[in-house]
Amino acid sequence: MTSDLTARARQILIDNDRGGFTVPTPRLYPYQWNWDSAFAALGFSVFDRARAWRELETLFEGQWADGMVPHIIFRRNDPDYFPGPAIWQSGTMPPSSGHSQPPVVASIARHLMDTGSTADRDHAEALFDRIFTWHNWFHTMRDIDGSGMIGIVHPWESGRDNCPDWDLGLDAMEVPADLDRYERRDIHCVDADERPTSQQYDRYLTIVKFGRDCGWDHRRIAKEGPFFMADPCIQFVLMRADRDLLEMARGFGRIDEARRIESWIAKCREGCQRLWNKDAGAFCARDLKTGRFSDRMTNVSMLAFYAGAGTAAQRAALIDQAGDILKACRYGFPSWDPRSPAFESRRYWRGPVWAVVNYMMARGLEEYGEAALAARIKSDTLELIERAGFFEYFDPISGEGLGGGNFTWTAAIYLVWSLDANTLQAA
Ligand code: DGY
């Protein structure tokens, strides 16, 4: 861990700050993204606590009246990004996209509290009701039949946009003849072979059109929309975030809310059993329209540890399979199984390694005493960054840095893990 690189990581956060909120990377993503902002707060917490809380507070400026916190908040129109506010037509102020993203905020707020002072506790208490309302939205609008499986209405809601997990749902969709013509902007910033395909974009835009045409009626989008799939990432991130929110509720004396959160946790524990795909030996995505499973273990299957989900036998099976996957690539953990024909080592979520998923994975593994695997995941992540730079994602075979550069969440994870290493050295 070099001090030059930690200084560089800090500077990336500072440079990507747009005045209270941070962009994931200039040009490619010029607005405030939901889970990116939560990880930005984690990074800021290493050197500027007040700024860390500001990031979370500005994220909630975009919260909808029904509790949803959208995946992008558009504070101004930026021609570098498509699809912008005019396409989403959220009808909210500030304008935003029309669905959410993995709710990591409660876990990061709790981490700030646990590692901070009474000021951190006060900030967390002030945000509590907003976070609670957001989780409630997930447990109602994304679990419409009360199965305990949390669905997504758009691949972008998972944060894992073009993972092969979503091929099932996307391939079953029809693109309407009256879909407006559009021009992608992302491939002006990043090589097209590192990004989703145009067939996938047509389907992404089809879902946005459905949401816009029904005035973002979320019950209707989940029931009748073109796409509804259960996502192990949202499921496990929410389960972990519920546990962290529960600790906060108890600490703040919020008895009624604590009871509600306990019931969410119990239901999702049952629900995640419906995501166990025996044939794949892993928790997998599942099409909620047909019941069909995605057929491979992914990096987010491993978040079962972070969530405290699954049985001991299921977790042991995940560890075994993780070993086989890691033998098939140089750097862990790939976002898709390198032994599968759908694996593409450079294309966004169809193979590359992502620092934020590795961060959550390593935390969960450590908590379950899987120290060796956690250490491997951590050291691979740091080596990738040290060799290639602060990229958005990395090729698990060659180690090449891909996607956007000077990336906020990659810098944030580097900062947090360097702090851990320094604390260890000092102890
Ligand atoms: C994009 O535009 O690629 C984003 O990932 C959508 O959230």
The atom number, within ligand 1, closest to the CA of 196 reads 3
Residue nearest to atom 4 of ligand 1 (CA): 156
Residue nearest to atom 6 of ligand 1 (CA): 156
Over pLDDT 90: what percentage of the chain?
Answer: 96
Rounded CA-CA distance 226/246 in Å is 34
User: In which element (H, E) is residue 230 found?
Assistant: strand 229-230
E strands present in 20-122: 32-33, 72-73
156 lines ligand 1 (CB under 6 A): yes
Each residue of 19-49: pLDDT tens digit?
A: 999 999 999 999 999 999 999 999 999 999 9
Amino acid present at 99: H
Mutation choice for ligand 1 from 156, 189, 200, 348, CB with most ligand atoms inside 8 A: 156
Each residue of 207-259: pLDDT tens digit?
A: 999 999 999 999 999 999 999 999 999 999 999 999 999 999 999 999 999 99
pLDDT tier at 422 (50, 70, 90 boundaries)? low
- Furthest CA-CA distance within the chain: 64
Rounded CA-CA distance 197/367 in Å is 38
Interval between CA 215 and ligand 1 midpoint (Å) = 21
Rounded CA-CA distance 184/346 in Å is 19
Q: What is the pTM of this model?
A: 0.97
Rounded CA-CA distance 353/299 in Å is 8
54 lines ligand 1 (CB under 6 A): no
Interval between CA 324 and ligand 1 midpoint (Å) = 31
| 65: exposed, middle or buried (Cβ count in 10 Å: 0-12, 13-18, 19+) | exposed
Q: Tokens standing for 43?
A: 């990074």
What single DSSP character describes residue 89? -
